[in-house]
Each structure stands twice: as structure tokens, then as C-alpha cells.
Structure 1
Amino acid sequence: MTDAAIQPDAPVATAQAGDTAADSYHYALMRRAINEIDSADAPLTLDDLASRMKMSPAHFQRLFSAWVGVSPKRYQQYLTIDHARSLLAHRHTTLDTALQTGLSGTGRLHDLFLTWEAMSPGEYAAGGDGLMIRWSQIPTPFGPALVMVTDKGICGIAFTAETGPGAAWADMAARWPKAAFKEDDAAIRQLAGPVFAGRGETRLHMLGAPFQIKVWEALLQIPSGHVATYSDIARRIGADRAVRAVGTAVGRNPVSFLIPCHRAIRKSGGLGGYHWGLPVKRAMLAWESARTDSL
């Protein structure tokens, strides 16, 4: 499989706000804005940011609002490194009480209903032997994503804006070394398209070792707009001393965003790592925080 075989179409600048193509186009702009913010010595004004993006302030403001619903100044605050520390101080979810307080059932993806099934130990050991996996790249609010599905549901989501499509393909396909793969753009868009629009029921088909599955279950208890530490997750699954192993399992999550590994951060408030690039993780946390604040 070559990079060219899965190279996504260029974003369509004329897409209507509110659909995933428009969101993906806006994320490409946000990615550039993140780079500008990171390289600046001080906070940037609207005029500064717009100039660096080679856009008029009014047009830049409109695109920002269409994507995230807050001003560029406010969103810039969400993108700073200190935002993770603020989340830790004010929206730190203790996983043992999340279900009791009702947090983990709210604010996921609007009214999205998520169900999932883990592959059996035999299926896991077989490396996908006899399994047909359909795939395609689709636009998402966080840039293009490689999405893979089985007959039972979505089995992989990889964001390619930072890693590139070829590296994402090699990473995801290697998890099922004996599976057969078929490109099926229509099927993927029909199944995965509603996921990023926050509509309907979504089925996941998870491939992972028992320890990894436990970690991913804990991640599902972190509500949108909140965070938990790797230590919290370790305690939740009864493996207090296995923080490093938890971090590895978080990074191996095959269905990014839906199983929200981006909501796991360090005790210090640092973001830690993210398998598909820290700019994507920061954008996800900022995007969710803005929406949580607007409720």
C-alpha cells in the first residue's frame, strides 16, 4: 500500500459550516494557527493571527466561530499549555465517582449512542485471520482520518494531519497482520460520517489484550470537556503501580477520539504524548472545552 493510494482529497473551502468537510477544512486552518501560537513569544491579537494566516480579521473570526463557537482570543487560551493544568484543577474527573455523578453519560458527542464489542482472545491471537476490514479516509473536525471497519463496527480511527496517511496506514494495518483490506469509501462515509456529526448509534469492534481493554473502558468514563490522569486510570482498573503500562495502553487505543485517549494527561498537568500528534490532542481538548463551556 503506497501513500498515494490513500492520499485524501484536498479540503473543499466552499463546504458549508457544520458538516465534516467544512470542519476538516477549518481544522487545517486551526492547525496552522496552533503553530503560530506556539512560535509566538506572547499572545497574538486577532489582527496578528489573521495576518499570519493571510486572511482578513473578519473572515478569520467567522471561520473560528463556525468551527468552535468562541472567539479566536478565547480559543487561543484553550490552546495554551496552561489549559491542561486548568482542566486538571477544575475538570479533573475521579473515575471512581464519574458514573455516580452522571458525568460519564453526558456531553460525549451530542446524542451519539456508543456500543462496543471486544474481539475474543482467539480473534486477537489470530491477528485478524479471515477478517475483512474495509477502509477509507474521510474529513473530520481534526483533519483527515483513516477509518477502518469490520462487519461488527468501527475498528480503527487514525488522524493523519500530523503523521501523514502512509504512516497511519502502516500503523493501523500492522495491528491486523493477517486481515484482508478493501477500500470502500461509500460504506465508510455512511457508517463513520455520523460519528463526527454527533448523530445516531455507533458500533465499535475493539481489538486489544485484556489489560488494554480495561484501560479503554476507563477512558470511556471520562466525560467530554474533562480530563483524568494516567494514575487515575491505573487506580480505576486496580493496577495502581502500572502507570507506565497504562500510558502504553492509552497510546495503543485503535479508535481515537471515540475512545477518548486525548483526555488522559499527566499529574503535573502536562499533556503527555498523543499517538497522532500533540497538536491534534490540544485541538481536541480545546474543541471539547469550548463546547462544554457553551452549554
Structure 2
Amino acid sequence: MDDKLLLENENYKKIEKVIRYIDDNFKEQPSIDTISEYIGMSKFHLIRVFKEYVGVTPIQFLQSVTLNYAKEHLKESKSILDSSLDMGLSSPSRLHDLFVNIIGVTPKEYKESGQNVEITYGYGFTPFGEALIAFTKRGVSYLGFVDNNKEAIFARFKELWEKATLIEDDKKAQDYLDNIFIEKKKFDLYVKGTNFQINIWKALLNIPNGTITTYQDIANSINKPKAVRAVASAIGSNHIGYLVPCHRVLAKSGAMSGYRWGIERKKILIAYEALKN
């Protein structure tokens, strides 16, 4: 296993703990000394690790990201999304161009829950925590973050592809994760969902890296402005985290809610992408 990824995974856990602490205590505006004491690191080491990973210090994150990011960027999200949808596929700002082409299962494969489909899966490390990834010859078919509960994440994956032939290979899984998170290679996604769900997941690919939007904007983008609840349900059913960026969608109020792999991770992903964009 790559030592760099192991270190990044440990750093992620520490940052996640800091984010959770800031989220619970932002009204008190805790000092860097208070935060470093809580995390059990010297403040200088904490500042260095946090800034290396996120791009700002914990206090800058507290003041500029945690409290203000969602509300400030939400004001512009509709125009950003509309502009993205108007662009051609050659636009370098689109995640679709960087990563993903979605391939839906056939109606027969959907009905049979993956029968006669061979899926390789395994566990590995990413900069955002340990993950379970699965893939077929046609593309990535699952990507979820573990958070110390392998049984639950595997059960969710197995339920989705209950009749598929599963082959565990952690080495190949880590190679896939390296190519996604380190090498930034392009991937096809082999997804199992209804036509409506797949259309929503495709719409998510139009959200530019480093920006956010709302469930209402996604509903508007597919010409179903009254289908916000159905859109939210489809987004919540996304089984390929990160590559299909459901973390970039917020409630109209700007609330960070409804992320399958943890609110802290959602905040980190949004902040990371905004600061690295």
C-alpha cells in the first residue's frame, strides 16, 4: 500500500475531526490553541497539515469557509449551472470532460440485479478516507467511503448488485483509487438506476469543479421544476461517490445535509475543490 496514501488518510481523519469540532463550536469562535489542544497536536503542526491539505489555516476555514461559503456561493449557483449546461462537452471546466462517461445497465440487467455480471471489488485508501470501490469491464460500478463500518458499506454494495459474481481484489482496488484520486484519469461509470436517476446523475456532472448548486436548480436543468423531492431522492441514491459529485448539491437554504458519506466529508470536499480550483 502506498505510504503517501496512508499518510493522507491519517491526515484526513485528523482534519475531519477538526471540521466536526469547528462545526459544533463555531458560535464560540474557538482559537487555534483550543483547536490544537482538542485534536492533540501542536498548533504549528496542525496549521501546517491543515493548510497543506485544505489550502487554508483552520481559523481561515472557520471564518471564510464553514460559515460563509455556502451562502455566498449559493447566490451565484444557478447562473453557474446554467452557464455550464450551455457549454459544449469540450469545456475544460466540466467534470464530465475530466473524468466521467455514464453507461447505464440494460433493462434486462437492471431487472436481474447484475446476474451474469462479473464485478471486481476491494478496499483501499484515498485522500478522503478509506473506500470500497467496484468495477467491471464497462466501468466503475460502486465507490463509497467506509468510515470504519465495512459491513454496512459492503451490504449496501451487495444489495445493489445482489446477483452479480463478486471477486475481491484489494490490490486492483487500490490501483483504481490511485488512478482516480492521484493520477486523475478518465473513467467510464457502469451504473444501475432508473432512467430518471441516471438523468439526474448526468446532470450532476455539469456542475463545474469548485462550485455548488441546489436541488431546485438540478430540477430546473432537466425541465422538471416541481420534481425537487424526486431529484433529491435520486441524488441520495447515487452509488458512485466523488466521481458523480452529489456533494456539490445543497438545500435552497444553503444547509449541508443529506450526504450519505458524512456531512464533514461533504464540507471538506466542497472546500477542497473550491480552494484548489
Q: What's the TM-score once normalised by structure 1's chain length? A: 0.85
CA distance 1:214–1:79, shift in 2 (3 Å): same
1:160-217 alpha-carbon deviations (Å, 9 max, x no partner): 22x7221111112111111121211121122231111142222211111100000001
Q: In structure 1, what is the Cα distance between the partners aligned to 2:80 and 2:65?
A: 23
Instruction: Work out whether residues 78 and 286 of structure 1, in 8 Å CA contact, stay in contact via their aligned partners in 2.
Output: no
Q: In structure 2, what is the Cα distance between the partners aligned to 1:78 and 1:216?
A: 30
How many corresponding residue pairs?
A: 275
Partner of 2:134: 148
Whether 2:122 is the aligned partner of 1:100: answer no
Residue from 20, 40, 44 that aligns with 1:54 = 40
Partner of 2:71: 85
CA distance 1:99–1:278, shift in 2 (3 Å): same
| Paired residue secondary structure (1:75) | helix
Residue from 105, 115, 137 that aligns with 1:129 = 115
| Structure 2 residue identity aligned to 1:189 | Q
Any residues of structure 2 matched to 1:1-295 within 5 Å, and which? 15-16=3-4, 20-40=5-25, 41-77=27-63, 80-100=66-86, 105-106=92-93, 108=95, 112-161=98-147, 164-292=149-277
| Paired residue secondary structure (1:148) | strand
Q: In structure 2, what is the Cα distance between the partners aligned to 1:70 and 1:82?
A: 14
Q: In structure 1, what is the Cα distance between the partners aligned to 2:262 and 2:170?
A: 25
Q: In structure 2, what is the Cα distance between the partners aligned to 1:25 and 1:112?
A: 27
1:8-63 alpha-carbon deviations (Å, 9 max, x no partner): x9xx9xx44xxx33322211001110222123242222222111111111111121
1:140 is displaced (CA, Å) by: 1.2
Q: In structure 2, what is the Cα distance between the partners aligned to 1:257 and 1:127?
A: 23
Partner of 1:3: none
Q: In structure 2, what is the Cα distance between the partners aligned to 1:244 and 1:252?
A: 12
Q: In structure 2, what is the Cα distance between the partners aligned to 1:26 and 1:52?
A: 15
| Structure 2 residue identity aligned to 1:210 | N
Q: In structure 1, what is the Cα distance between the partners aligned to 2:99 and 2:265?
A: 24
CA distance 1:78–1:186, shift in 2 (3 Å): farther
Q: In structure 2, what is the Cα distance between the partners aligned to 1:274 and 1:42?
A: 26
Q: In structure 2, what is the Cα distance between the partners aligned to 1:101 and 1:112?
A: 14
The gaps in structure 2 that reach 5 residues or longer are: none
1:79 is displaced (CA, Å) by: 5.1
Deviates most, 260-269 or 100-109: 100-109
Instruction: Work out whether residues 93 and 228 of structure 1, in 8 Å CA contact, stay in contact via their aligned partners in 2.
Output: no
The gaps in structure 1 that reach 5 residues or longer are: 1-8
Q: In structure 2, what is the Cα distance between the partners aligned to 1:102 and 1:60?
A: 42
| Structure 1 residue identity aligned to 2:22 | I
Instruction: Work out whether residues 84 and 94 of structure 2, in 8 Å CA contact, stay in contact via their aligned partners in 1.
Output: no
CA distance 1:106–1:91, shift in 2 (3 Å): same
Q: In structure 2, what is the Cα distance between the partners aligned to 1:71 and 1:209?
A: 43
1:153 is displaced (CA, Å) by: 1.4
Instruction: Work out whether residues 91 and 225 of structure 1, in 8 Å CA contact, stay in contact via their aligned partners in 2.
Output: no
Instruction: Work out whether residues 215 and 250 of structure 1, in 8 Å CA contact, stay in contact via their aligned partners in 2.
Output: yes
Deviates most, 219-228 or 21-30: 21-30
Instruction: Work out whether residues 121 and 169 of structure 2, in 8 Å CA contact, stay in contact via their aligned partners in 1.
Output: yes
Deviates most, 208-217 or 57-66: 57-66
